[in-house]
Structure formats: structure tokens, C-alpha cells
Chain A
Amino acid sequence: MLDSLVTGLYGLTAGVTYLFTQGGPNVIMLLIAALLLYLGVKKEVEPLLLVPIGFGCLLVNIPLSDLMDKGGLLRILYDMGISNELFPLLIFVGIGAMIDFGALLEKPKMLLFGAAGQFGIFFTLLVALALGFPALEAVSIAVIGACDGPTSIYVASQYAPQLLGPISVAAYSYMALVPIIQPPIMRALTTPKERMIRMEPIKRTVSTQTRLLFPIVVTLVTGLLAPKGLPLMGTIMLGNFMRECAVVTRLQKASENEIANIVTLFLGLAIGGTMEGHAFLKPQTLMIFAMGFVAICMDTVAGVVFGKIVCWMTKGKVNPLIGAAGISAFPMAARVVQAQGQLYNRKNHLLMHAAGVNTGGQIGSVVAAAVMLSVLKGMGLIT
């Protein structure tokens, strides 16, 4: 009887005992979970992601929690959609269904800004290699520079699953910090005269047929040139095709609402589940956060410098600020450009141009990841 009482009491106190004996990392991670929840709830920093990630982090760091063990809730969610890359791809269908590529179609050359805005990926790859990360881990870290959460998760879950937690949190955090990170860089690299350049309003010249064929053509071209990225581009363009064909409105709405919401919840919880203290609290986590910051800064630098080159080539018809929108953070980056342009010329309306560049950045980030994966396959580093 006494033995039963003692073992029963042990069952109740094991968690607390663990917390005070070897639970230091768990305590720190519980504080980080609280911080993520605070940022999501109080500051509204990417709340749709940070709230489930923060709660998943809380759940997995409660001592002796078996939620990430075989059969545990978070492990089931992880196996269901992260380890096989299903969740980021389903989110991409929703993103494609939400995005209007009209501004980009009016001026297709804006796509080149979307290419320049990916420079941070390749620069960060060199930095990660220099810091001693193995090739595939370096590639996964570098993709934070795509400034695109689902792409980062897609690549990391395949090639560096052990780094998925820090990479995902860094990617989403920096996406939310775009309005803070970009303006100082934009001001440092441009003159007041350049910031005041007014651009001609965009005229509507795109037919319904062009809008309808656009997702099919993009899928075919990128699928042929960079086949390893076809799941990423294919799902975005599927969503966009459903939007433009206008005959499957129910599917389009379900993709951008119900499916995206459910998957976002599962994805966030499963990512939070990867943030177990003993695995997460390593020097390399801090390094990943630092490199993510470098990546997004270099994206902005390259975009604005490319904008300056185009400004010079067009004899001042293009405001170089729009180059900063060549990243995937949509529509934040476009809004930042509009706000910065209006600071120096209140009659300057750069939003439509920046939106075109920003959607180019959305495509550019996926293309950059696809190209990287295809080059890695060509080198025989992945199958």
C-alpha cells in the first residue's frame, strides 16, 4: 500500500523533479515560448504563425512531455505534413489563390528585380559555409534569404530537419520585421533626389486570356528549367489558376481560407514541437538567426542597387526604392516602398510598381530555391 502511494506520488512529482534537476533548457524554452506568444498576441507579429509555434514550443518543453515521441500529438502532425513537405505546399496553394499577379503582368521586366532580391540567399550560403556548416545545412539556412516561410520549411525539412525549428522561426520573424529592417538600408543607399523620382502610372493592358495562361506558362517554364522546385511553383500556380479561371470559386476560397488556416495551425504546432530545449539551445541557433538577418539585409541591398542601375539605364524613369520590394514578403515590402517614397514626395505613388516587383519577388524566391535544388541535384548532392 505504502509502495503504491510512493510510486503514485513519484508520478505526480517527476515533472517538477526533472525541471529542477536537468530542466534548465526547458525553462529557457518556456520563456522563449512566452516571448513568441507575447509577440504574436500583443505585438501582432505574424500572429497566425507565432501563436501556434509558441504554443507548440510550450507543449514540447513541459518536462517529460511525450508530445514529440512516437504516437504523440506533435509527432503525428510533424510526420503528417512536415517530414513529407505537404504542409508548406498546401499553404502555397492558398498563397497562389490570394495573389493577384496583374501588376507584374503589366510590366514583366519587373521580374528581374525579383531575381536581384534573392542575392541574400547566395551571399548567406557563402557565410554559412565559411562558418563551418555542411553544404546541405548551409543551403537550408541560406534559403531564409528567400524571405518566404513555406519555402524555408520545404527546403529545411528535406535537407536539414534538425535545424527546422530555428530556420522556420527566423524566416517568419524576419518577414515580420521587414518594415523595420528595410528603411534604413533604403535610405543609406539612395539620394533624396532618387527617392523623389515619380514613376508613370501603370495602365491596364493585360487581357483575361493572358492572366489565365500565366500560371500554366510559369509552371511549364520553371518546371523545365528547375524541375526540383516544381512542387513549390506548381502549387502556387495551381492556386493562381483556380483564382483566374473563376469557375472553381469554392476551391479557391477553400484554399485561401479553410485549408490555409487548418494547415497553418498544424504547421505552427509541429514547428513549435521541434523547439525542444536540449535540441534547440545550441550556439548554431544564434548563428542561424544572425545569418537570417544578414540574408534579408543583403536582399534589400542587392534590390536597391539593382534599382539604381535600372534608374541610371532608364535615365531616371525608375525610382530605385522599388528594388527593395523584390523579396517575397508580400505585401509588406511593397507597402514599405510606398511609405518611403511618400516621405520624400507626397504625390509619389509607387505602390502599384512596388506590388509588381513584390509579386516578382514571390516568384523569384521560389525560382531561386528551385534553381538551388536543381543545381544540387546536378552536382549529385541530393537525389
Chain B
Amino acid sequence: MDGEKWAFGLTMMVVGMGGTFLTLWVLGLAMDLLKKLFPLVDKAADTPKQS
């Protein structure tokens, strides 16, 4: 494999794999944020108890 192909392959490997990890990490953070902004409300706890 010539130098140009190596450079291309390694660039794709580093930037591609790094970019995939970065994108999914950002998505994970966004999902955590969504969960904090819109927590699951326990409907049973919210319903006033009938005496």
C-alpha cells in the first residue's frame, strides 16, 4: 500500500472512529439532559389519597 493510501486509511480510522465516539458521546449527554429536563413522574405518588 502506498503512502497516500496509508494516510487516507489512517485518517479515516482516527477521524472516523474518533468522530463516531464523539458523536455518540454527545448523543448520550443529550439523552441524559432530556431525562433530567423531563423526569418520569410517578403518577401514583401525585394522586391524592382518598380517605
Contact = CB atoms under 8 A, between A and B. Distances in A.
Number of chain B interface residues as a range: 20 to 34
Interface string B5-45: 11011111101110111111111111110110111110000
Nearest to A104: B31
Number of chain A interface residues as a range: 35 or more
A122 B8 contact: no
Contacts of B41: 207
Interface in A193-228: 204-207, 209-210, 213-214, 217-218, 221-222, 225-226
B28 A125 contact: no
Interface of B: 1, 5-6, 8-13, 15-17, 19-32, 34-35, 37-41
Find the residue from B11, B21, B31, B38 having the highest chain A CB count within 10 A. Answer: B31
Contact of A207 (B20, B23, B31, B39): B39
Interface of A: 104-105, 108-109, 111-112, 114-115, 118-119, 121-123, 125-126, 129-130, 135, 138-139, 204-207, 209-210, 213-214, 217-218, 221-222, 225-226, 360, 363-364, 367-368, 370-372, 374-375, 379
A221 B30 contact: yes
Contacts of B30: 217-218, 221
A213 B23 contact: no
Contacts of A207: 35, 38-41
Contact of B35 (A111, A206, A375, A379): A206
5 contacts: A112-B28, A122-B17, A123-B13, A129-B8, A221-B30
Contacts of A112: 21, 24-25, 28
